[in-house]
């Protein structure tokens, strides 16, 4: 099974923000990206969050979410959509999925020979979910709550020898990237990967840190996807295409 990953569309009205972010161009890039996935035989696409930029208004976010939803609906490649911190800027959790027909990823799902685990770090350090209290979020206060860590531990521990897992999260789990982009309790996830996930977790794929990154740590490959919103033109290299039959080096 071939899976295409992409992240950080930051769709919106602005031509340019933050120096190199082009929100108004992201919708066109998404169309090209999904067409590219189609041409390359991608079976499943996964968006790792920050679908909208969330910097103008709630109405603007709703309009852009609806536009993205239409592009995704018109694509022949099914797309699972995770949420990023920007998707909570102007509204809570329910709105994001209620006004779109985005397929919300389950905590774990099977894709070919691989189990995908969707970690959600859109939580404050006190355990409150972003958007739940109507307060503006501090994007650096990003945490994976204990119930997800327990579930991750249980799933890995309970899976038979030889099981294969890829972990996905919008915010960064690669501790080599700029610190403010890293999930505050990333070390707890790394511990689980080293223990319960030993010989089972193959890739850790994230977004959020727009330049993107790649590193090998604790014997695993950490891939941070470059943001789709960066630059004026569509860059097919911002996406990652992986075949689930690909066996990583550490398995020999």
Query: Which residues bind to Fe ion, rule: CB under 5 A?
Result: 50, 84-85, 208
Residue 115 or 224: which CB sits closer to Fe ion? 224
89-93 contacts, C-beta under 8 A, 24 or more apart:
89/52, 89/54, 89/55, 89/61, 89/136, 89/137, 90/54, 90/57, 90/58, 90/61, 91/58, 91/61, 91/62, 91/131, 92/131, 92/132, 92/134, 93/129, 93/130, 93/131, 93/132
* Chain residue at closest Cβ approach to Fe ion: 208
Residue 50 or 221: which CB sits closer to Fe ion? 50
Shortest reach from residue 85's CB to Fe ion, in Å: 5
CA distances from 104 to 61, 80, 101, 130 (A): 18, 6, 9, 16
Residue 14 or 196: which CB sits closer to Fe ion? 14
Shortest reach from residue 106's CB to Fe ion, in Å: 21
Shortest reach from residue 140's CB to Fe ion, in Å: 11
Helical pair 58-74 and 26-39, crossing angle rounded to 10 deg: 20
Distance CA 90, CA 140 (A): 17
Shortest reach from residue 246's CB to Fe ion, in Å: 27
Residue 37 or 130: which CB sits closer to Fe ion? 130
Shortest reach from residue 208's CB to Fe ion, in Å: 4
Distance CA 27, CA 98 (A): 20
């Amino acid at each position: 099974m071939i899976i295409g990953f992409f992240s950080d569309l930051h769709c919106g009205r602005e031509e340019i923000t933050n120096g190199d972010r082009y929100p108004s161009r992201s919708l066109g890039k998404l169309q090209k990206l999904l067409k590219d996935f189609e041409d390359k035989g991608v079976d499943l696409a996964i968006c790792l969050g920050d679908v909208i930029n969330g910097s103008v208004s709630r109405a603007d976010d709703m309009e852009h979410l609806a536009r993205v939803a239409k592009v995704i609906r018109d694509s022949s490649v099914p797309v699972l959509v995770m949420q990023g911190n920007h998707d909570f800027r102007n509204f809570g959790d329910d709105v994001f999925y209620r006004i779109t027909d985005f397929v919300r990823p389950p905590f774990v799902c099977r894709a070919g020979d691989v189990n995908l685990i969707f970690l959600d770090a859109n939580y404050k350090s006190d355990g409150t979910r972003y958007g739940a209290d109507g307060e503006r979020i501090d994007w650096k206060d990003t945490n994976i709550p204990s119930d997800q860590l327990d579930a991750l531990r249980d799933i890995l521990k309970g899976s038979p020898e030889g099981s294969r897992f890829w972990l996905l999260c919008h915010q960064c789990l690669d501790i080599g990237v700029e610190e403010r982009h890293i999930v505050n309790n990333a070390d707890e996830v790394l511990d689980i990967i080293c223990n319960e996930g030993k010989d089972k977790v193959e890739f850790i794929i994230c977004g959020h840190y727009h330049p993107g990154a790649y590193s090998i740590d604790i014997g695993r490959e950490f891939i941070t996807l470059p943001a789709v919103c960066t630059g004026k033109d569509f860059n097919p290299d911002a996406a990652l295409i992986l075949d689930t039959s690909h066996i990583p080096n550490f398995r020999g």
